[in-house]
């Protein structure tokens, strides 16, 4: 199981399925609630309509036992008086709840013997008085019961406007179902205020909800299965190039052949960009490895000559001490020492060594460096403005020394060193009045172990590392090193470094 969920396809399929499942559950719940509310409102409307029809008959003077009542299966009806006595009910109604009156059989109306004339007159007066009292009591009760809380008493023949709604059940012909009931009050001339309870069956609502729920319980799992399968297939198809890239990278790792490249899909999505970036990384890695190989080969070649020369001189000196060329041996030893120092510095730069964060004044650095070259060719310091940079004093001194040495090899009469500030940059320039550098060679001379033919013929001691070291140090310090034509003829090397600020 853990291995299964380690797959991106599995996680994508499960995630998509869970999201869709939550959305379907929420949507299904909302649909069921909306459907149930709509059907209940419809049942309430039917119950209210039935109750109003019966109340209309009563307000027209129809006696309760003469009412035309609807079929009790769909709309059971009860008519009760102010004392909650059942006056009329639908046929076949066996049991009812939710209306406040559980009777299903109308109570019989009691009969009285005909009174004599005097007795009848007295009874009529008593009846009139009782009727007045009953009317007063009914009027008082109307404010709390049938007429609505706080409503005005109903007039003769008037029907209450807003029905009171409730929910209950009724048994008709042995079958019990749920109903929604509406209650209306009507004021009749013969019996005073009567209450009509009419119901509407909820069987349709319950059936519709059950049908919708059953459809959802069957359809949702099928839909989720389809979504999971489609997500799995789409993700598998989308990740197929990733598998191809992984397989090719495995082959490259096993064979150590950096000349191979991963396949790039013919799309413009993230996977295609990943494949292109991978190939660019492989190309950069291949170039770096080839550069290292050339570096090792060139270093071996450059070291071979002075070592062979020094060995020859020492062997001759051992056999014939009078023929030992001590100055030549010293020169070869110095050359080996300088070459070893250059190789060590390049190795540290390639390893990502960061420069220090000390402050270096380029003008002071130039004066100090040039003061040690009293026996060299003429060096002119012109316009040495004090400007500070942040970095390694030793590495920057190495850059200046390499640039001056290179200029001295090619100049005819003089070398000019200047320093100045140029906005946020500190600029150090080393110019000569030699033949200059051809435009097509101005980038190549900064490669390692590269020496132009003219340089090789003029000086046998250079290994072609000075300018490469100077540019690498400049880049490590966040600057640049370029070569251009000098205004007085020859070449000018321009070193640009970020000027040090008060907070740096």
Domains of the chain are: 1-108+122-256 (no CATH), 258-353 (1.10.287.130), 355-498 (3.30.565.10)
pLDDT at 376: 64
Q: What is the DSSP string of 213-249?
A: HHHHHHHHHHHHHHHHHHHHHHHHHHHHHHHHHHHHH
Contact 192, 58 (CB under 8 A): no
Task: Report how far apart, in Å, the C-alpha atoms of 405 and of each of 271, 399, 459, 466, 470 are.
Answer: 51, 10, 11, 9, 12
Task: Report how far apart, in Å, the C-alpha atoms of 54 and of each of 62, 65, 95, 107, 240 are.
Answer: 10, 12, 20, 19, 74
Partners of 398 in beta bridges: none
Token pair in block for residue 446: 């900064």
pLDDT at 294: 76
Dihedral sign, Cα of residue 350, residue 356, residue 359, residue 363: negative
Rounded Cα distance between 392 and 390, Å, is: 7
Q: Mapping DSSP to helix (H, G, I), strand (E, B) and coil, where does residue 123 land?
A: helix
Rounded Cα distance between 491 and 442, Å, is: 10
From first to last of its 504 residues, what are the pLDDT tens digits of the chain? 445 455 777 888 888 899 999 999 999 999 999 998 999 999 999 999 999 998 888 888 888 888 888 876 778 999 998 888 898 888 888 888 988 888 888 877 554 445 544 454 455 555 555 544 554 454 444 444 444 444 567 777 688 888 999 999 998 888 888 999 999 998 888 788 899 999 998 988 889 999 999 999 999 999 999 998 998 888 888 888 888 888 989 998 898 888 889 898 888 888 888 889 999 999 988 888 887 787 777 777 777 777 887 788 788 878 878 777 778 778 778 778 877 887 888 777 777 777 777 899 999 999 888 888 766 666 767 678 889 999 889 889 989 989 998 888 888 888 889 999 999 999 999 999 888 898 898 898 888 777 765 444 434 446 678 898 899 999 989 999 999 998 878 899 999 999 987 555
Rounded Cα distance between 100 and 60, Å, is: 26
Token pair in block for residue 175: 């079958």
- Match 């009953």 to its residue by tokens: 134
> How crowded is residue 316: how many other Cβ atoms within 10 Å of its Cβ?
14
Q: What is the DSSP string of 334-369?
A: HHHHHHHHHHHHHHHHHTTPPPP-EEEEHHHHHHHH
Token pair in block for residue 426: 């500190």
pLDDT at 486: 87
Token pair in block for residue 500: 């040090």
pLDDT at 342: 79
Of the candidates 464, 67, 115, 127, the residue with the CA atom closest to the CA atom of residue 301: 464
pLDDT at 452: 67
Rounded Cα distance between 283 and 444, Å, is: 20
pLDDT at 110: 52
pLDDT at 104: 84
């Amino acid at each position: 199981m853990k291995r299964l969920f380690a797959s991106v396809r599995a996680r994508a399929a499960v995630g998509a399925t869970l999201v869709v499942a939550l959305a379907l559950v929420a949507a299904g719940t909302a649909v069921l609630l909306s459907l149930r509310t709509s059907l209940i409102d419809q049942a309430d409307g039917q119950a209210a309509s039935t109750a109003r029809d019966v109340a209309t008959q009563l307000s027209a003077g129809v006696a309760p036992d003469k009412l035309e009542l609807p079929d009790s299966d769909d709309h059971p009806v009860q008519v009760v008086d102010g004392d909650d006595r059942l006056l009329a009910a639908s046929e076949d109604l066996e049991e009812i709840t939710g209306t406040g009156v559980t009777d299903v059989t109308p109570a019989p109306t009691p009969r009285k013997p005909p009174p004599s004339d005097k007795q009848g007159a007295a009874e009529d007066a008593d009846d009139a008085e009782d009727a007045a009292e009953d009317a007063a009591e009914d009027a008082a009760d109307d404010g709390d019961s049938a007429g609505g809380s706080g409503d005005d008493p109903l007039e003769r023949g008037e029907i209450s406007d807003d029905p009171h709604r409730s929910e209950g059940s009724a048994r008709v012909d042995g079958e019990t179902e749920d109903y929604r009931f509406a209650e209306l009050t009507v004021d009749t001339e013969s019996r005073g205020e009567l209450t009509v309870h009419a119901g509407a069956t909820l069987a349709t609502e319950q059936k519709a909800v059950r049908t919708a729920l059953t459809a959802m319980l069957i359809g949702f799992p099928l839909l989720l299965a389809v979504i999971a399968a489609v997500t799995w297939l789409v993700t598998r198809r989308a990740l197929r190039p990733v598998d191809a890239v992984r397989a090719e990278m495995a082959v490259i790792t096993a064979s150590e052949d950096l000349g191979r490249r991963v396949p790039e899909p013919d799309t413009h999505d993230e996977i295609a960009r990943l494949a292109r970036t991978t190939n660019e990384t492989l190309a950069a890695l291949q170039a770096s490895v080839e550069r290292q190989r050339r570096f090792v080969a060139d270093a071996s070649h450059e070291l071979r000559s002075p070592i062979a020369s020094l060995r020859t001189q020492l062997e001759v000196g051992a056999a014939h001490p009078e023929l030992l060329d001590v100055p030549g041996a010293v020169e070869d030893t110095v050359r080996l020492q300088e070459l070893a120092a250059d190789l060590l510095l390049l190795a540290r730069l390639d390893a990502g060594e960061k420069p220090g964060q000390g402050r270096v004044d380029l003008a002071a650095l130039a004066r100090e460096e040039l003061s040690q070259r009293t026996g060299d060719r003429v060096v002119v310091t012109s316009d040495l403005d004090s400007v500070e940079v942040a970095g390694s004093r030793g590495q920057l001194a190495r850059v200046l020394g390499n640039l001056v040495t290179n200029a001295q090899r090619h100049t005819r009469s003089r070398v000019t060193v200047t320093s100045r500030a140029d906005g946020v940059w500190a600029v150090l320039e080393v110019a000569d009045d030699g033949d200059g550098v051809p435009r097509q060679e101005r980038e190549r001379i900064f490669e390692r172990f590269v020496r132009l033919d003219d340089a090789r013929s003029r000086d046998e001691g250079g290994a072609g590392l000075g300018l490469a070291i100077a540019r690498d140090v400049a880049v490590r310090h966040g600057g640049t090193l370029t070569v251009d034509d000098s205004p007085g003829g020859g070449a000018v090397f321009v070193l640009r470094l970020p000027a040090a600020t008060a907070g740096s």
